[in-house]
A = this chain, B = another copy of it.
Amino acid sequence: MAGIEISPRIKLAAKREGMDATKVRVGAHEIGGDRVVVIAGPCSVESREQLFEVASAVKEAGAHMIRGGAFKPRTLPYSFQGLEEEGLKILAEARDLTGLPVVTEVVAPGDVGLVESYADVLQIGARNMQNYPLLKRVGEAEKPVLLKRALSATIEEWLGAAEYILAGGNANVILCERGIRTFGKLTRFTLDLAAVPLLKEVTHLPVVVDPSHGTGHRQLVAPMARAAIAAGADGLIIEVHNEPEKAKSDGAQSLRPAGFVSLMEGIRPVAEAVGRRI
């Protein structure tokens, strides 16, 4: 591993010789094993009808888990802030309907218990990656945590954030690369795919990739999903909406259900080409 060294103060998240990679179990699935796991759904839970339609569609296309936000961190207070507990209930119903586990974001320490009572995986969003009271609180949770990289976090700061959760006693941390902020103007963020093999060198934690936020354009999601798997990602998280042009958030980067079917078809042979399966 000449040339790629991280701080020796990162203890629990660091890979040590002879160590097995961490596999995070979620329902019937394992993130970090042979199978590449696909999490799909809308940016925001907007209504029962919307979520059920999308959840059924992504299940049919082969997704393994549902995503959808009930608590939405938005740049302005006047934007749709999410359905909150009502949204969590709809997510839980969608899980009952489809059998797919639910991944959803939590934004405040005081909400962790509530979100955990409905969700299967707690998502920490990019803007909260260094919200340490929140990290400490999910460190005490029973459910796995999907930890998104902050917009300008170095790899070591990101692993430092994981360290808070691990040190709190929660061993089930999934890292999620979702694009970093650079000077680029034509994409929303710059998806740092080299972070995937780099993380495989320095940490035992599984890594998933979000090509929806990472690019901001529907057209770029499927090629970057294929690239993520080829680079060694353990999973994908993909935004899908039944009517992207009416979405309350992130419409431009959301696939339609047909686009998601096509994405799934495209990633299967790539997964096999790198010795994995979907």
Contacts of A184 in B (CB 8 A): 154-155, 180, 192
Contact of A9 among B76, B163, B223, B228 (CB under 8 A): B76
Known: A107-B132, A230-B270, A252-B3. A151 touches B152 (CB 8 A): yes
User: Which residue on chain B has the smallest CB distance to residue A81?
Assistant: B132
Contact of A231 among B3, B109, B227, B273 (CB under 8 A): B227
* B186 A4 Cβ-Cβ under 8 A: yes
* B186 A198 Cβ-Cβ under 8 A: yes
Contacts of A133 in B (CB 8 A): 107-108, 110-111
| Copies of this protein in the complex | 4
Contact of A187 among B7, B187, B198 (CB under 8 A): B198
* B156 A75 Cβ-Cβ under 8 A: yes
Known: A107-B132, A132-B74. A4 touches B217 (CB 8 A): yes
Q: How far is B157's CA from A74's CA once the two chains are assembled, in angstroms?
A: 10
Chain B proximity mask over A145-175: 1 for CB below 8 Å, otherwise 0: 0000011101111001001100110000000
Contact of A182 among B109, B164, B180, B230 (CB under 8 A): B180
User: Which residue on chain B has the smallest CB distance to residue A272?
Assistant: B273
In the assembled complex, how far is the CB of residue A265 from the closest CB belonging to chain B, in whole angstroms?
Answer: 11
A113 within 8 A of B: no
Contacts of A228 in B (CB 8 A): 227
* A197 B181 Cβ-Cβ under 8 A: no
A38 within 8 A of B: no
A50 within 8 A of B: no
Q: How far is B109's CA from A180's CA once the two chains are assembled, in angstroms?
A: 27
User: Which residue on chain B has the smallest CB distance to residue A199?
Assistant: B186
Contacts of A77 in B (CB 8 A): 132, 136, 160, 163-164, 167-168
5 contacts between A and B (CB under 8 A): A182-B183, A190-B190, A190-B192, A200-B223, A226-B231
